[in-house]
Structure 1
Amino acid sequence: MMKLKFKLKLEHSPIFRSFLISYVLVLFIPMLTGFISYYVSSDIIKSSSLEASAMMLNQSRDILDRRMEEVENITRQLSLDQELNYVLNEQVDAEHYDVYAIWKSWRNTTAYSLTNTFLEDFYIYLNNYHAIFTPSGVFVRPDDYFDLYHYQNVDPVQWKQEILGKIHRRETLPSQPFINNGKKTNVITYLQSIPFDSFQHSLGTAVILIDENEIAKMLERIPKQYGGWAYISDKDGHPIARIGIEDAQIKDLNIQELINSKPGNTFVKDKTLLISSKSAYNGWVYVVGLPKSVVMEKSVFIAKVTWTITVSTLLLGIVAALLFAYRNSAPINRIVTVFREQTGQVGYKGKNAFDFLQGNISHLLASQRTLEEELRRQLPLLEDAFVKRLLKGEFDSLQEMRTLMHSLPNLNLKRETGYVAMIRINGYSGLVSKEIIHELNAARLLIKKCLNDLSGVFQLNVTDIDSDKIAILMTLTETANYSEADEMTAGLTELFEQLREYVKEEYRIQMTVAIGGSFQALSDSSRSFEEARGALDYSVLREEAETIWYRDVIKESTTYYYPIDMELRMMNAVKIGELQEVHRIFEQLLEHNFSERQLSAEMVQQLFGELKGTFFKLLQHSPFTDQAVSEGLKPRVEQLQLSTSLDRFRNEVLVLLEAFCSRVLKKKEDSTGEMINKIVSFLDSRYADADLNLYKISTAVELPEKYISQLFKDHTGENLSDYLEKIRIKKATDLLFNSDHTIDEISQYVGYNSAHAFRRAFKRVSGVSPSIYRKTVN
């Protein structure tokens, strides 16, 4: 439910909207390009279709012009035929015909019918004989010919007057119904008087009857291709031939407009594309009508495909834009939310979220630089505070001390063995004034500078203890070659003697130096510091300024040595299970009391009682407070007895200390095991989350991210990310073996953002790709 609310909130966020609008705008750019391409291709298809139809129309026009020109040439040849001219010019006696001349002339004219399909039906009228030649025979009486071949709407008288009686020069009559030996058809009539150049009087007339279907055949390619019609008219608009169109439709056409238009013009009338062409030979107008829907069929198909792809692409693009906008805006929203929660800002400081982030990040970087500068400025103070805590034994554990020491790189602590010395500036005891304080400050600074100049093979860390006292933590440099303690003692004595003499001569400063015993670990430097303090206090009894060693002034003591800081250090080491440190402190305690001192029996008993009290104090602290542990350790503490032998006493105490440390380590290991189990359980339940990261794991188990990563690595021997990858790949192998899901689906099921990342991880862990693994197991 929370996730759903977050998504709804995200979808209404300005960042989400900005990403979504950007992606949608980018999506519309190729779509706009697609629309332009569609309209351009549609125009190309339309123009190419019209150009192809116009080209075929022009081809048909040119062919028909050539055929008509052939007809004209044939009529010209007829007028030049000698036999025919002889008959035409012969003086005819009404009672005596030259039958042989007529037959011979007819035989010559019939051969012309084979040269052109248009001449299949033609006749020649001879004025002098009143006879008609046809390819099939000779009609001596014209009325006999008219009975078989005549125009449906023309009577014999009109036929003789208009066709046979007039002079014709390359005259073409429009299409009209014709009875051809009882069969009805439509013909176009071509008329030419003979001789060819007759103007006042003709000897005969050549009449060529052209079947309209013969002309229509030349145009049928265009209507057949697109399902339209074709039409030819003469220059006056009278029909010559038609195909696929009726007379009523022709009347609706504005033929005169087409006749007067430029060749190749295209008109649209009643969803029909009209293409016209005009013959330069005889002025005929050729008109083709094409259904616009058929011509644009390919364009319509492209439109359907384009719109289908466009709508699908738009829907998929919007879905992708939503996903990308969510994926890219979610991290920015989370960052903005974190900034708002941390800074307490409600709105944006700036125009948008990016300005808001830029401002806050710039502020963070500036703050970081300021902090770094402040840290560099405070670094000497931190180093001084570290040295003070180290000398006073205020660290609870070695881990704390070493962690803090590594964060201070300028500390001169390359080795862990050395001495602690204290310097007192003499002559100022009991004097307190502003001038004295300034004078002591200057003296301390001069002494520190001289120490740095004379340090040589020693690494010195100097800190102020009082206005007239300085403590120096001294260790050897990495290149120092002192192999014996006596050599190091002599070197330190020489160093401080030079220092005392120098400040005395140059600055008239009198000082006393006290040096404690050597330490073998930095955690033991507090003991050397206390020894140096004690030696410095002892030097008050001496009048002269000198260098005093703790071992020279503390010869014997009637009291035992068990300071409170040593007890605290040992208790802290036990509580964190540092057995080696516990051994070292205890051995140091024995050395101080039984090697450097001669204790009486009563003092030994008191020391033993103090140690036993330390154990009882430990029982009051975790992890020794639970009943089961108390019942096991408390009786052992109560039964601890002072042995007569020092070795036996040492062994009994060490065994008990080991028992305490073992309990700490066991509880720490149990706690670690529980934490590891908790982490593993969380990974097993959330491995499918593609956004699973160290932050979510740390939130679930309530531990810091860095600690979780190191803890898991120390306990299991492998990185947390590698373990999560193995879980995912194991789940993936189960799905590959036991399901039919695709590899892309499986990659999402097991928590990968992409199939490519899943394939790489699978091959890295299993040694083969997912597809090969599936084929192998199947």
Structure 2
Amino acid sequence: MTSKWVPKISGRRRNSRFDKSVFVLFLISYIAVLVLAMMSNILYHKTVEKKMLENAKRSNLAMLDQLKIDIDNKIRQINELSNNIVFNTKVNMLLKGNDVLYSYYDLKQEFMAFPKSKIIYDYYVYFANTDEILTATLKSKSKDFYQAMYNYESMSFSEWHQMILNQYHFNTYLPVQQLNAYNSQQYRVLTFIQSIPVNINEDLLGQAIILIDESKIRGIIDKMRWGTHAHIYVLDKQGNVVLSSEEAIALPQGIREQIGNSGNVFHYNEGKDKATVLYQISKDTHWKYIMIMPDKEFLADIRQTKIFVFLLLLCFGLLGSILAYIFSYRNYRPIKEIKEMFNKKEHHVDFQYRNEFEYIKCSIMESFKKQSDFDNMMAIQLPVMRSDYLTKLLKGYLGEIDIDKDTLNFMKIHLLSDDFIVIIAYIHSQSCFLEDFSEKEWALARFVLANVGSELIEKKYEKYFIELERNQVAFILNIPDHALVKKSQKQIKSLVQAFYDLLKHQCKLQVTFGISNIYTGLVQLRQCYDEASKALEHGILGDQRIVFFEEMDTPEQYYYYPIDIEVQLANMIRTGNYEDAVKTVDMLFQVNFETKQMAAETGRYFIMDLMSTLIKILNMTLAKRQKPLVAMDDFLNRIFIYDGIDRIQAEIKTIIKEICEQIQEYHSTPHDRLITNIKVYITENYGSHSLSLTSIAEEFNRTPQYISTLFKTYTGQNIKDFISKIRIEKAKELLRDDQLTLTDIAKQLGYANDMGVIRLFKKYEGVTPGVYRKQIEEEKNII
């Protein structure tokens, strides 16, 4: 599987650095969340601030409305008193100069009977016709009254007389002024003036003047001032400022112009000064109640709250930033460890990545790709590994400890039961299917064998095919049910016969099958393989095509190839005596394979032993001629490619003929002929008492030194040893005759007595002649 990330990263270099670390992303994320939280808090604070402003405005409007109600109630009391005075019959009669019916005393008594009010400091009536002032307690001239009773700090008598007493007033309220009362007392009063009569078209008869105690009204205003820090103004219906709070500035004209006919709120800006203006208008008196709240005062608490919130946000922002860093690092640390883990394990070319996530993602994708490649490789190699595993089981290289469920699952070996049988098929080289014996043809032959077997063997068997050698294939069959073992054996016999017929007639393949018995347990596959191999070799050597191990006769476990026969055969071949050598080989094959039933493995050992004799002779000849030696495996491969004992025997004869031809060619030189003649002379005269190096030299007209050196050079041994070996071989033949005594044998060998024969046997055979004769008798009994 090709990773889609590989093309992306292939063009960017990395030196353990990243465009943007995940730590930075985490930190930015936490900071972003923190900023969002702070922004939400700011927005919430803004909303709360707006609500607070609205609530403050509503609260202030409510207080202003309450002030309006309180003052309206007080004005109503003043109006009631004014009406009682203005519309009083006695007052009007006295003002018109009619003092017959009513006297001033009566009027004073009536004044004293009027309802009292806390806000009214005092009141009096001015009589224009007499220029007199009448109160509830006294009557005097206006000038005396002004000078003795009440006078305004900021107003002279003439101004007072002109502005208040001699002008028409209708429900007129003068601004608060300092009033100097009798007994040197001072009061701040609000002056109410109502002309009598009320009708402006009539002549002015007098004035009803009520002095209102400002302190009774200012208490309410001061409370509002203390609670709101606002400037409060009370305007009469003409727009004159009647009352104002302490330290109140002059009411700006701009504010007057923006006041409408009903209560409202508006913002007023004059230069740098900003204020919120609230006002209410009385429907009864048409008085205006104005509250001016400078922003620096009105918003002072809000500003303090803002500063507090800002400092709080700053502190929490700093704390949040520290926590964001800590949390980012804590969350980044596992990613960093994973990245470092990949760095330790990955050895690919470095690249530049956006961040650790991309690096880890790419590393994981590469790991997935490697795992996928590994899985694909394992899928490709699985048949080979399974074949190797089963081969080791067959050959006994694995034990119980190596057989477990996980291993079988990994190898995809599914078992139906614990019962197994092994069939080994051997492809003969004489098959018409094989033309040039190329490896391709052998592979194709094995492929045909495996596929035909897969199709032919019933699906109820779990089957596995193993290529053992170029010309051998093993079939492992798993029997589905232990109770059906006997039935399965019969079915397998018929199945193998059908398998053989199909391969022979349809595929042109000559195949020999060796079939084992059924065994329980995977570890017993070694026994199955051993039996199938023995059955196969028995079939190959016995020229049989289907061999069941259970049907084989009990074979012999040894072969006949005594040392003396080996020496004779070697001497025959060394002298180029092909005819006698072939007769000896035929005798050996007849004894081992015709007169008795030999085990296939034992037969192989016999053939290998015989071939070792031939290769020794051949390599000795090649060494003398300084030519490359022949390996044992080359000879064995040459022999065992043939099927059947007859073919193997014929090939061995061919090899002997080739060796004899090599020897005869080697001995064709004068020196070779001389050596051959010397050997023949020794062989013919070994029984002469005078046989020695000197007699041989005299026979061939050579000096003893020449004969000794030449013989040693060409044969690798001296003449004395060669004479001794000829005599001992002849002695072995004579010892087979029970009628001959040891003395008789010594005389025939050229010795004076039997001690010469005994010394000869002990030197070359390691035993005495008597012991050797007993060994020969034991071999005869065995045969």
TM-score relative to the length of structure 2: 0.59
Q: Find the aligned partners of 1:153 and 1:539 in 2 and give their Cα distance.
A: 154
Q: Do 2:277 and 2:291's aligned partners in 1 also have CA atoms closer than 8 Å? A: yes
1:39 aligned to 2:46? yes
1:380 aligns with 2:377: no
Instruction: Name the CA distance, whole Å, in 2 between partners of 1:370 and 1:29.
Output: 47
Q: Hey, what does 1:23 align to over in structure 2?
A: 30
Q: By how many angstroms is 1:557 displaced?
A: 2.0
**1:106 Cα shift?**
3.4
Structure 1 position 222, deviation (Å): 0.4
Aligned counterparts of 2:379 and 2:232: Cα–Cα separation in 1: 99
Whether the 8 Å CA contact 1:45–1:296 is kept in 2: the answer is no
Q: Counterparts of 1:347-426 in structure 2 under 5 Å?
A: 347-348=350-351, 350-395=353-398, 397-402=399-404, 405-408=407-410, 410-411=412-413, 413-426=415-428
Given candidates 218, 221, 224, the residue that maps to 1:222 is: 224
The residue matched to 2:484 in structure 1 has which SS? coil
Using the alignment, how far apart are the partners of 2:433 and 2:291 within structure 1?
A: 129
**SS in structure 2 at match of 1:150:** strand
Which of 106, 125, 131 pairs up with 2:108? 106
Q: CA deviation at 1:118?
A: 5.2
Matched ranges for 1:629-644 at <5 A: none
Q: Which residue of 1 aligns with 2:253?
A: 256
- Superposed counterparts of 1:388-467, under 5 Å: 388-395=391-398, 397-402=399-404, 405-408=407-410, 410-411=412-413, 413-426=415-428, 428=430, 434=436, 440-456=442-458, 459-467=462-470
**The residue matched to 1:482 in structure 2 has which SS?**
helix
2:335 to 325, 332, 337: 332
Matched-pair contact (CA < 8 Å) for 2:122–2:212? yes
The 3 A distance-change label for structure 1 pair 166 and 300 is: closer
How do residues 295-334 of structure 1 correspond to structure 2 at under 5 angstroms? 295-296=298-299, 299=302, 302-303=305-306, 306-307=309-310, 309-311=312-314, 313-334=316-337
Question: How do residues 276-291 of structure 1 correspond to structure 2 at under 5 angstroms?
Answer: 277=279, 279=281, 286-288=289-291
- CA deviations on 1:55-101 (whole Å, 9 max, x unpaired) are 3224323543454355445444534322222222236xxxxx75953
Q: CA deviation at 1:216?
A: 1.9
**Alpha-carbon contact 1:110-1:134 (below 8 Å) kept:** no
1:526 aligns with 2:526: yes
Q: Map residues 67-82 of structure 1 onto 2, 5 A cutoff.
A: 67-68=74-75, 71-72=78-79, 74-82=81-89
Q: Which residue of 2 aligns with 1:136?
A: 137
Deviation at 1:543, TM superposition (A): 4.0
For residues 162-208 of structure 1, what are the alpha-carbon distances to aligned partners after superposition, in whole Å with 9 as ceiling and x for unaligned? 43344444433333222222211122322232222144632222222
Cα distance between partner residues in 1 of 2:472 and 2:157 = 158
| Contact 2:382–2:411 (CA under 8 A) maintained in structure 1 | no
> In the aligned structure 2, how far is the partner of 1:140 from the partner of 1:458?
149
Q: Which amino acid aligns with 1:23?
A: Y
Residue number in structure 1 paired with 2:555: 555
Alignment of 1:373-772 (within 5 A): 373-395=376-398, 397-402=399-404, 405-408=407-410, 410-411=412-413, 413-426=415-428, 428=430, 434=436, 440-456=442-458, 459-478=462-481, 481-482=484-485, 490-516=490-516, 519-549=519-549, 552-558=552-558
- 180-189 vs 399-408, which deviates more? 399-408
- Residues 424 and 511 in structure 1, CA contact (< 8 A), matched pair in contact too: yes
2:186 equivalent in structure 1: 184
CA contact (8 A) 2:427 2:512 kept: yes
Given candidates 59, 64, 83, the residue that maps to 2:90 is: 83
Quote the Cα distance in structure 2 between the aligned partners of 1:459 and 1:131.
145
The residue number in structure 2 matching 1:341 is 344
Cα deviation for residue 317 of structure 1 reads 3.2
Structure 1: distance between partners of 2:281 and 2:538: 140
Q: Secondary structure at the match of 1:555?
A: coil
Deviation at 1:219, TM superposition (A): 2.0
Q: Structure with the greater relative contact order (CA < 8 A, sep ≥ 6): 1 or 2?
A: 2
- Going from structure 1 to structure 2, the CA distance change for 1:550 and 1:222 (only over 3 Å counts) comes to same
- Cα gap change, 1:38 to 1:388, in 2 (>3 Å): same
State the secondary structure of the residue aligned to 1:512: strand
| Inter-partner Cα distance in structure 1 for 2:307 and 2:58 | 24
**8 Å contact from structure 1 (residues 383, 408) kept in 2:** no
Aligned to 2:246: 244
Q: Distance in 1 between matches of 2:251 and 2:496?
A: 129
Per mean C-alpha deviation after superposition, the further-off stretch among 399-408 and 468-477 is 399-408
Q: Contact 2:119/2:216 (CA < 8 Å) preserved in 1?
A: yes
Contact 2:19 2:355 in 1 (8 A): no
Q: 1:291 to 1:538 in 2, by over 3 A?
A: same
Cα 1:77–1:455 shift into 2, 3 Å = same
Q: 1:188 to 1:553 in 2, by over 3 A?
A: same
**Letter of the 1:51 counterpart:** R
- Range 132-141 or range 16-25, more displaced: 132-141
SS at match of 1:191: strand
1:278, distance to aligned residue in structure 2 (A): 6.8
Q: Distance in 1 between matches of 2:278 and 2:546?
A: 131
Q: Against the structure 1 CA distance between its residues 123 and 393, is the aligned structure 2 distance closer, same or farther, given a 3 Å change threshold?
A: same
Counterpart CA distance in 1 for 2:555 and 2:426 is 23
Q: Which moved more, 1:311-320 or 1:77-86?
A: 311-320
**In structure 2, do the counterparts of structure 1 residues 32 and 122 end up closer, same or farther at CA, with 3 Å as the change threshold?**
same
Structure 2 gap ranges (5+) = 1-15, 560-597, 600-783
Return the offset for 1:12.
12
Q: Which deviates more, 497-506 or 487-496?
A: 487-496
- How many angstroms apart in 1 are the aligned matches of 2:296 and 2:274? 8
Q: CA RMSD in A?
A: 4.1
Which residue number corresponds to residue 61 of structure 1? 68
Equivalent AA in structure 1 for residue 139 of structure 2:
V
How far is 1:38 from its partner?
1.2
Tell me the distance in 1 between the aligned counterparts of 2:22 and 2:138: 99
Residues 497 and 193 (structure 1), Cα distance of their counterparts in 2 relative to 1, 3 Å cut: closer
Cα drift, residue 531 of structure 1: 4.3
Residue 56 of structure 2 corresponds to 49
Q: Conserved in 1, the CA contact under 8 Å of 2:20 and 2:355?
A: no
Counterpart of 1:612 in structure 2 is none
8 A Cα contact 1:57 1:219, kept in partner = no
- Shift of the alpha carbon at 1:405? 4.6
Tell me if the contact between 2:417 and 2:482 (Cα under 8 Å) persists in the aligned partners. no
The offset of 1:242, in angstroms, is 4.0
- Alpha-carbon distance in structure 2 between the residues aligned to 1:161 and 1:518: 150
Matched-pair contact (CA < 8 Å) for 2:536–2:547: no
Q: Is the 8 A contact 1:519 1:525 kept in 2?
A: yes
Q: Helix, strand or coil for the counterpart of 1:241?
A: strand
Match 2:197 to one of 195, 206, 211: 195
Paired residues, number: 538
Give SS of 1:481's match. Answer: helix
Flag the 1:504–1:43 CA change in 2: closer, same or farther, 3 A: closer
1:255 & 1:460 partners in 2: Cα distance?
113
Flag structure 1 segments of 5+ consecutive residues without an equivalent.
1-8, 92-96, 560-595, 598-778
- When residues 32 and 429 of structure 1 are mapped into structure 2, their CA distance, relative to the original with a 3 A threshold, is same
CA shift in 2, pair 1:348/1:62, >3 Å: farther
**Aligned equivalents of 1:73 and 1:528: distance in 2?**
137
* Aligned residue type for 2:360: L
Larger of the two Rg values belongs to structure: 2
Q: Tell me how far apart the structure 1 counterparts of residues 160 and 462 of structure 2 sit (CA, whole Å).
A: 144
Pair 314,551 (structure 1): closer, same or farther in 2 beyond 3 Å: farther
Tell me by how many angstroms 1:538 deviates: 3.6
Matches of 2:381 and 2:441, distance apart in 1: 25
- Structure 1 contact 164–205 (Cα < 8 Å) conserved: yes
